Structure 1
Amino acid sequence: MIHQYKSNGYNIVLDVESGAVHVVDDITYDVISLYEENSADEIISKLKSSYNEDEIRECISEVKELVEDGQLFTEDIYEPFVEKFKEKRQTVVKALCLHIAHDCNLACKYCFAEEGEYHGRRALMSFEVGKKALDFLVANSGNRVNLEVDFFGGEPLMNWDVVKQLVAYGRSLEEPNNKKFRFTLTTNGVLLNDEVMEFVNKEMSNVVLSLDGRKEVNDRMRPFRTGKGSYDLIVPKFQKLAESRNQTNYYIRGTFTRNNLDFSEDVKHFADLGFKQMSIEPVVGPEEDPYSIREQDLPQIMEEYDKLALEYIDRYKKGNGFNFFHFMIDLTQGPCVYKRLSGCGSGTEYLAVTPWGDFYPCHQFVGNEDFLMGNVDEGITKPELVKEFGNCNVYSKEKCKNCFAKFYCSGGCAANSYNFHGTINDAYDIGCEMQRKRVECSIMIKAALADE
């Protein structure tokens, strides 16, 4: 399968199965579009009114060489092995999302966790529950050395002492078990202070800082419970933390809604504030919610991604660039074989742990009892759920089969699929459209910066 598109003056051809990207001239672009379904004579006949016949023949020859070299119209050699892979796959757990606090000091309007309470169960994780979770991770990680633990909420800093205790306990497990923990933290910043920053900079491999963008955008969707906005309090703290980490190993993470479909302005605002690592994600919610993104919003969203891509290139060329998560794509290795066959890893390699120690496939399934997989005392009690999630990948989803971006998203979010279609083996259509656009922008950016 190939995907052809034009962007910012570039003619781009992606060979989906191999991951090869070609930036070509007009004649090559047109020849490739006709190559599979037409003979050389037919291609010449169709293009001779636009190009010189000898040039067309030469171009056909060059395209043929690319095909023979495995860089165009390649076949997917992995799909036939997917069933054997699933049967023989030995599941090891490599990451936990610890819901250290089912409580929050903000009242974000789009919060899937219902202001941190997750369906009414306000709670803080005890050290004992967290300790058992880390023990489970070590015991079920097989020969894997590097393990990941994200302190999540609600707001994790509301249970800060337990965070520190669990980091210390995790460090004590490393040498005797030949493991290395990579701790991360997601915070809204309200309780961020110098003591927290010092600890975070010492122990946390990455920090996710929640901020939606411009003051009016952020404060509309991320207020305190009193209704007062959070922007003025948290932005100076985030700036200080980003600088203290030398502008690396953190992300400013925002959410855009129908209220700010001009979200490229929010990313520019992040950059103007001095942040270098950023992401802004589309909100996901029922269509009846006033802030939810709808199909009719997609044209404007596509334009915003185009605007953002051009801004990204311009700032980079001026020496004032930034990293935008969705534009960070690796084209040097080709599509990851493992991701082709394993999906995102939720429910198999990655689990969410509630404050009382229950296991769910990921944080977005927490509270849905149909996806309760076990607990820290008994381990996994529903292996059939592990198997179901292990079978979820781009080959199990009909919508993925003819999608050029499938190997860059691994089939998308299982929770979004379930929430919109009642099965983890479908896809969230609006999200798919945005993902395809982001992949196109990412590849175009690579082409533009390669010209430098």
Structure 2
Amino acid sequence: MVHQYKNNGYNIVLDVNSGMVHVVDDLAYDIIAVYNTIDQNKSKKFSDIKKEEVINEIIRKYHRSEYSRLFGSESDEEEVKTAVLEALNDIEELIKDGALFTEDIYENYISEFKSRQTVVKALCLHIAHDCNLACRYCFAEEGEYQGRRALMSYEVGKQALDFLIQNSGNRKNLEVDFFGGEPLMNFDVVKRLVVYGREQEKLHNKKFRFTLTTNGILLNDEIMEFANQEMSNMVLSIDGRKEINDRMRPSRNGKGSYDVIVPKFLKFADSRKQTNYYVRGTFTHNNLDFAEDVKHLAELGFKQISVEPVVSLPEEPYAITEADIPKIFEEYDKLARYMLEKKKEGKEFNFFHFMIDLSGGPCVAKRLSGCGSGTEYLAVTPWGDLYPCHQFVGEDNYLMGNVYEGVKKADLRDEFKCCNVYAKDKCKECFARFYCSGGCAANSFKFHGNILDTYDIGCELQKKRVECAIMLKAAEAELE
């Protein structure tokens, strides 16, 4: 399977199953497209008949004016045939080398992977079901998660870390994200749990990677110092421009948060040497020109930026609709061009959704099955209940157990274990399946009532982001 597209002047051919990317000229681009149409079996060797078919189709495709553009004003059909034949031979070599039209060899692998023993490697600790902001798009309902306001006790958090250690098997590296609501409303318990985790590392040959997500209202010098010592990553929530941020992220009294958090976030990012953090925003139907928000954050001085589309049911006034997709595509293209300009100026920054590793990246199992929600990754409520992830919290049918008794619904865990790109019809022929890993199970549930579907608007945006990310890699290679 190949995916072809043009972006920012580049003709890009992605061999989906191998992950190989080819930047080609117009002739090779069109030949590959024609061959892809003619050879439905994707054979690894051209026959003479097949080559003749391709040559004839290319000649039919190009008018005489195209000949002069591609081959020179004096070209004739024989010269065209020669050029096409040379390009075909190059393409055949790529096929022989396993770099083009490769076979999908992973479906059987994922079947075997599903039979492996489940270990838990990450927890999302809902350290606070409460918040000091009233963000209009918050899926957690201002921190309440369809329930009551609560702060996690040290005892529940301690039991959660014990549960993670006991259920992690031989895995040494474990992850714990302090989440909310607003985690800093319960900072004392955060500190105590980090101390406890560090003590347990030595006893059980484990290594905790702690992270924390905050809206920044309570951020101060003490917290920054602690985070720089103990937090592997920090997520700092801000939507971009002041008017955009303050419209969607007001405090409980209706005042905006921008002026409070920006000086703190800038100081904190610099204290971390502009690494191991993200300023993370959300764009909605109200700011489809979100590239301007990314640019605003970059111009403030942030180097690690993520601005993501809101995921909301269509009845909400800020929900992204299908009609918004063309405008969002334009914004991603605009953002990619802006990032190239900044790189040329020596002022580059990272945009989370354009970060892609074409030479390595996640292991095959991760590429096929995603974040591991419901199996390797679980969310813990303030009172110790276990859910597949933070977005399922409050959904009674997805209550899996608790940190004291463990996972009680093995059938539900097995359902998530089977959630992969081959279990979803929409993913099987999608070129982006090894980059998005089948999308978010919670979003699928939100829009379709089950975890084996996909959020369609999210899929379209993800595919566009993958295309932009690959184009950026091609452009950056030229700059080196």
TM tier, smaller: over 0.9
Deviation track 1:414-433 (CA, whole Å, cap 9, x = no partner) reads 00000100110000000000
8 Å Cα contact 1:18/1:335 also seen in 2: no
Matches within 5 A, 1:32-431: 32-36=32-36, 37=38, 39-48=50-59, 49=62, 50=67, 52-87=80-115, 89-333=116-360, 336-431=363-458
Look up the equivalent residue of 1:245 and give its one-letter code: R
Amino acid at match of 1:316: K
TM-score normalised by structure 2 residue count: 0.93
Match for 2:16: what amino acid? Answer: V
Cα deviation for residue 338 of structure 1 reads 1.1
Q: Contact 1:17–1:335 (CA<8 Å) still a contact in 2?
A: no
Query: Does residue 22 in structure 1 map to residue 22 in structure 2?
Result: yes
The structural deviation recorded for 1:340 is 4.0
Q: Distance in 2 between matches of 1:445 and 1:309?
A: 7
- List 4+ stretches of structure 1 deviating above 6 A: none
Counterparts of 1:198 and 1:2 in 2: how far apart (Å)? 49
TM-score after normalising by structure 1: 0.98
State the AA in 2 paired with 1:68.
Answer: K
How far did residue 341 of structure 1 move?
3.8
User: Is contact 2:367–2:436 with CA below 8 Å preserved after alignment?
Assistant: no
Mapped partners of 1:81, 1:300: distance in 2: 39
Q: Any idea what SS the aligned residue of 2:420 has?
A: coil
**Structure 1: how far apart are the matches of 2:299 and 2:99?**
40
Secondary structure in structure 2 of the residue aligned to 1:18: coil
Distance 1:201 1:188 in 2: 17
Local SS of the residue matching 2:375: coil
Aligned residues: 451
User: 2:187 is aligned with what amino acid?
Assistant: W
Report how far residue 46 of structure 1 moved: 1.6
- Determine the C-alpha separation between the residues in 1 that align with 2:225 and 2:111: 48
Identity of aligned residues (%): 71
Retained in 2: the 8 A contact 1:20–1:334? no
Q: Quick one: structure 1 residues 203 and 384, their matched pair in 2 at CA, closer, same or farther if it must change by over 3 Å?
A: same
The C-alpha deviation readout for 1:312-347, integer Å capped at 9, x for no partner, is 111011100100001110001277411244332000
Q: Report SS of the residue matched to 1:451.
A: helix
**Distance of 1:335 and 1:146 partners within structure 2:** 16
Q: Retained in 2: the 8 A contact 1:358–1:373?
A: yes
- Residue segments in structure 1 that go unaligned for 5+ positions in a row: none
Give the whole-Å Cα distance in 2 for the aligned partners of 1:310 and 1:238.
26
Secondary structure of the residue aligned to 1:398 is coil
Q: How many angstroms apart in 2 are the aligned matches of 1:300 and 1:234? A: 29
Q: Deviations over 1:105-137 (max 9, x none)?
A: 000000000001111310000000000000000
Q: Which has the larger radius of gyration?
A: 2
Cα distance in 2, alignment partners of residues 92 and 182 from structure 1: 17
The answer to whether the 8 Å contact 1:85/1:341 transfers is no
Gaps of 5+ in 2: 40-49, 72-79
Q: For residue 310 of structure 1, report the CA deviation from its aligned partner.
A: 0.4
Given that residues 19 and 334 in structure 1 are in contact (C-alpha distance below 8 angstroms), is that contact kept between their aligned partners in structure 2?
Answer: no
